[in-house]
Structure 1
Amino acid sequence: MASSAPAAGTPEHGMPGNMGDVRRGNLALVMGRIAHSKAGTHLTRAQIAAATGLTKASVSSLVLDLLDAGIVREVGLNPQGERGRPGVGLELDPANGVMGMEVNVDYISAGVTDLAGNLLLQETVEQDNRTASPVAVTAALAGLAAGLRASAEAQGVRVLGGGLAVPGLVDDKTGTVITAPNLGWNNETLDLHALLPDVRLGTTLFNEANAAALAELRYRPAGRADFLFVSGEVGVGGGLVIGSELFTGPHGHAGELGHVVVEPDGAACSCGGRGCLETVAGQDAIFAAAGISPRRQANRQASAGPSRSESLDQLLSLITGGDADALAAVVRAGHFLGVAVASSVRLLNISSVVLGGHFALLGEWIMPALTESLATYAPGKVLPGNISLSAVGQAGALLGAAGSVVTSLVEAPHRLYS
């Protein structure tokens, strides 16, 4: 990959405000204009100069850096808004991609997207990760990622970096899972490099619900600026979007909706508390109440019973067939979800909720109980029309993790060749 050298006498590093810093800032400005242009619109150098206030000469020099780095390409002639001879349009090079990965309690998943966010490849493998060590789980994920990376490269797409989403509290700076109760992981520093060896942007760790919330923000056709995303898996997670930005709190751990207490004298939770939302609305709780026993792995021996996906299919079959226990389990989950959401929206002054995971899958039956509960405990705060189902489905966490890597590249494109 070609790289751009600084001008003679220009320090590459130094005090804020030096020429190297200014150029890096301008490079991000130009990259952002190209990345965020409307679909089907290919801005020219002249249009970027007019939009940013930079000189045409500066824009041409910066675009040359991006072309040399291979993250932008020229596409034909663009007559839109141009006087005289049309200019050459610019777009993110589709020969580049990033990988989103997810570890959840009962599966691992990975997918490759291009820089525009289009999902090119995806694969999910069901496995019970709560009895496996972090080393074993990441090794399995590394194998899955290697296969997808090879497939992407066979299609002419190079993977620049990746993001990994896990259902727990994380420290992205050190690659540490602080706690993931449903996995049984505590203070586990993951070997992120092993997941995607020798990629320029490395691999970044994310909380699963936060990543999925970011995917909703990006992919919803007419998304709101403020919403609470609710992730339904074995555990229950939450992601807060305020002013079109993910809000994670001072320590990065805001949004733990699954551990909001809804039954003070309720069942023990994996977090060590009692009566948390996920003890009544998580997958395990719903399956148990419906009389379904999913297959689990223990000491390398699989127990009898359906897999997780088969269990969800079985639950849907029971519900549509009018099974009283299954219907009661889902209604109970929706009721207590409303209790937790009611407290959250009052505290945060948010009026929109997006349901993901099994809450979206069960939306037809969850929604009436949820809206009734909200009307009881937070009347007028969340109207039925402001409760929606996920726009991205099961792929939300890996799409959000991948999209965040793209965002970091757009904000600092010099990372590819500095």
Structure 2
Amino acid sequence: MPVNENAAPGRVGDVRRRNLSLVLDSIARTGDAKPSRAQLAAATGLTKAAVSSLVAELVESGLVSEVGLYRDGERGRPGQGLELSPRRGVVGMEINVDYLAVGLVDLGGNLRFTTTVESHNRGLKPGEVMAKLAELAGEAKGAAAAGDIAILGGGLAVPGLVDEARSVVLSAPNLHWEHEQLNVDALLGDVPLGVRLSNEANSAALGELWYGAGQPDFLYVSGEVGVGGGVIIGSELYTGPGGSAGELGHIVVHPEGSGCSCGGVGCLETFAGQEAVFEAAGIAPGPLSGRTAALLAALADKEPRAVKAVDDAGKYLGVALASSARLMDIEAVVLGGHFAELAEWLRPAVLASVERHAPGLVRPEDLKVSGLKHAGTLLGAAGQVIRSVIASPLGLVVTDRTA
């Protein structure tokens, strides 16, 4: 809601911050509609004069751009549309077990540049991996410079539990990292908002919320070498008191199963993780892209071993989802990562398993496949920084108006 513009002088900074955020958020919520100043005044409850002043600050600071001319009605002067600036961006970055990825995302959520390279990161020291990632981040910076995009900050996602405030990876079993301090600020150099560390599955879930299906309640399932989960409730990420909610890959689905990287036995990850599926399907070790292509080809040819491997992965994933649905009362599920790539063959087995173990809790239409695929993590990692700009833009606003 709008803040009283006649607030006490000592609180003028708070008033400006909240009203700037209100205007930015209203522009962000309209998506491609590109609202006029008059429409923003109606949407926010602020006066037209206040909105005009706030928009002027945001435009001058480069956070908002004016686009086109159109009429709100038959009378009056044409209004200019407004959008979050395509000339400001955030770099999303991801470290995973067998690849590194980087993407440049503008404030409107458009992926302007992306690159992924295969990299065997398991067991490597964090400094070695971060040095490789910094090279990729340099490519994103080059793309930003070529597109006249100023980088405001970055987001880095890793497959493990993190302490965001201290930029520490608390536990990433598949990387063999425990309590590792990351020098995240070295990735992009001197940028206004620095680099924010996050969990890979949580970032992918947020990417899906903001730039994908956009429904308010769902469980996002991230399939990589490990299996992760992100819980979205009421359009907010739920991480639990200790930040570890959503660890779907370590739900026990077979008490007598094999050992897991987490130290447990019978975890979902040992049946449905990428490496487990490749091994069960008889796909020879090699580069990730080649193994994925071989698996998809084997499935297309209905090779029994490949079909059974994916069928088993779907069965055990269904067991985990049935338990999760009963525990959390979340009806919708979104499959991402390699689960999205395997969805044509995986989805029937998942549905059959869920229906067997939790009849009626997850309808077929509520088991969705992410259209973002692997880009969701980059979009979510960057999107968290973009949302912080929308929530508190005052530090990036360079003018000195008081409206």
- 2:290 aligned residue (291, 310, 316): 310
- 2:221 maps to 1:230: yes
TM-superposed deviation, 1:417? 4.4
Q: Aligned partners of 1:417, 1:198: CA distance in 2, in Å?
A: 18
- Structure 2's unaligned 5+ residue stretches are 1-5, 399-403
Q: Aligned partners of 2:75, 2:229: CA distance in 1, in Å?
A: 50
- 2:382 aligned residue (402, 409, 412): 402
Q: Aligned partners of 1:78, 1:162: CA distance in 2, in Å?
A: 35
C-alpha deviations, 1:171-222, integer Å up to 9, x for none? Answer: 111111110000011111211101111111211111111111111112335x
Q: Aligned partners of 1:229, 1:346: CA distance in 2, in Å?
A: 16
Residue 4 of structure 1: aligned partner:
none
TM-score normalized by structure 2?
A: 0.93
SS at match of 1:173: helix
Q: Structure 2 matches for 1:164-175, cutoff 5 A?
A: 164-175=156-167
TM-score normalized by structure 1?
A: 0.90
SS at match of 1:356: strand
TM-superposed deviation, 1:45? 2.4
Residue 357 of structure 2: aligned partner:
377
Amino acid paired to 2:27: I
Q: Aligned partners of 1:278, 1:370: CA distance in 2, in Å?
A: 15
- 2:8 maps to 1:28: no
Q: Aligned partners of 2:164, 2:261: CA distance in 1, in Å?
A: 23
Structure 1 pair 142–61 and aligned structure 2 pair: CA distance change class (3 A)? same
- Structure 1's unaligned 5+ residue stretches are 1-6, 12-17, 295-305
Residue 401 of structure 2: aligned partner:
none
- 2:198 maps to 1:184: no
TM-superposed deviation, 1:338? 0.6
- 1:157 aligned residue (132, 138, 149): 149
Structure 1 pair 414–81 and aligned structure 2 pair: CA distance change class (3 A)? farther
Structure 1 pair 250–82 and aligned structure 2 pair: CA distance change class (3 A)? farther
TM-superposed deviation, 1:349? 0.5
Residue 273 of structure 1: aligned partner:
264
- 2:253 aligned residue (258, 262, 273): 262
Structure 1 pair 94–82 and aligned structure 2 pair: CA distance change class (3 A)? farther
Q: Aligned partners of 2:162, 2:310: CA distance in 1, in Å?
A: 30
TM-superposed deviation, 1:81? 4.4
Q: Aligned partners of 1:38, 1:394: CA distance in 2, in Å?
A: 22
Q: Aligned partners of 1:61, 1:112: CA distance in 2, in Å?
A: 30
Residue 107 of structure 1: aligned partner:
99
Structure 1 pair 125–38 and aligned structure 2 pair: CA distance change class (3 A)? closer
Contact 1:42 1:78 in 2 (8 A): no
C-alpha deviations, 1:94-136, integer Å up to 9, x for none? Answer: 1111111100000000011111111111100101000211111
TM-superposed deviation, 1:254? 0.7
TM-superposed deviation, 1:51? 2.2
SS at match of 2:144: helix
Figure out how many residues of one structure are paired with residues of the other and give that number.
392
Q: Aligned partners of 2:302, 2:384: CA distance in 1, in Å?
A: 42
Q: Aligned partners of 1:214, 1:242: CA distance in 2, in Å?
A: 11
Q: Percent identity?
A: 55
Residue 357 of structure 1: aligned partner:
337
Residue 116 of structure 1: aligned partner:
108
Residue 288 of structure 1: aligned partner:
279
Amino acid paired to 1:316: L
Structure 1 pair 28–82 and aligned structure 2 pair: CA distance change class (3 A)? farther
- 2:193 aligned residue (201, 221, 228): 201
Q: Aligned partners of 2:219, 2:275: CA distance in 1, in Å?
A: 23
Residue 138 of structure 2: aligned partner:
146
How much is the aligned-residue C-alpha RMSD, in angstroms? Answer: 1.7
- 2:109 maps to 1:129: no
- 2:378 maps to 1:386: no
TM-superposed deviation, 1:373? 0.8
Structure 1 pair 83–33 and aligned structure 2 pair: CA distance change class (3 A)? farther
